[in-house]
Amino acid sequence: MPSLARVGKPAILLIVLLAVATAGCERLRTITQGPPEPPPQTAPADPALPLGPHGAFGNPSNATADERNRDNFLIIGEGSVMSYNDSRGTANWVAWRTTRGDLGPSIPRPDFRPDPRLPAGFRRIGYSDYSGSGYDRGHLVPSADRFANPQLNEETFMMTNIVPKTAALNQGPWEKLERHARALARRLGAVQQIAGCYGEKERLKGKVAVPTNCWKIIVALPSGRTVADRDRRMQVIAVDMPNIDGIDDVRWETYKTSVEALQQRTGLDLSVIPR
């Protein structure tokens, strides 16, 4: 580019005028359009539940992961979320989501084992604590709800997911209701469930409380919907079953109740569950 000394005055004047005009256009663009827009922000995640995909019913006992909270200790697992009661040796409640994709053909049963997620100092309930008691090692999250994923299936065999049930309850109306819930998941795509027990009949080896009752709530979700949507098409099932003998052939429908009744009997806050 030639130096300005060798350029004539008319040319210099033209260069200056062009520079001024260019600066003026940039200033005008700034005034009319405003400052440059900030880079787009990442869209916030779907209001994810603090308890993960299995916590659609919230935290009905306000459980925490503080190891000092031994009788209401929060465990967020891959396949469920629960409040564990160290004094009883069982969960207060367990919540989980079952989708069509979680189901599958039967797989080999893992061994029952103590839950390694419990803090040091908590009781380690094991397989032998039920031995000779006459009670089944009854699942809360059913093994068959996790047949499609062996790792999640193993989680259902941790003893925190197990409660002492009579064979009549465990293999009778309770198991029939489990099959019904899976049928709903296959047909609709997903169901949200929460289950637990209350009362005390006796203690196994002085450690594990045998409940008087076991309860469950199932919310069957229309395709693409969540519990928070409170869609009127949702099917809500609440049951309260006695942990007794002689009910092998009883239909699960016999023990239907209301969410309100379970809230009163258990002392849990179940208000987020559609009525």
Q: What pLDDT, in 10s, does the model give residues 53-90?
A: 899 999 999 999 999 999 999 999 999 999 999 999 99
Contacts of residue 110, Cβ cutoff 8 Å, sequence gap at least 6: 150, 153, 154, 157
Shared domain check, 78 and 198: yes
Task: Please tell me which residue in 88, 97, 139, 182 is annotated as part of the active site.
Answer: 139
139 catalytic? Reply is yes
pLDDT given at position 8: 52
Domain span including residue 188: 73-266
Shared domain check, 200 and 96: yes
Query: What are the phi and psi torsion angles at 192 (to 5°)?
Result: -105, 135
Provide the number of structural domains found in the chain: 2
The tens digit of pLDDT for each residue in 97-149 reads 999 999 999 999 999 999 999 999 999 999 999 999 999 999 999 999 999 99
Q: Is there a contact between 67 and 121 (Cβ–Cβ < 8 Å)?
A: yes
- Tokens 């009905």 found at: 60
pLDDT given at position 158: 98
Q: What is the pTM of this model?
A: 0.80
Flag whether 46 is in a domain: no
Strands 136-139 and 235-242: unpaired
| Cα separation values, 110 from 98, 106, 115, 118, 150, Å | 20, 12, 13, 19, 9
Shared domain check, 14 and 88: no
Flag whether 274 is in a domain: no
pLDDT given at position 234: 80
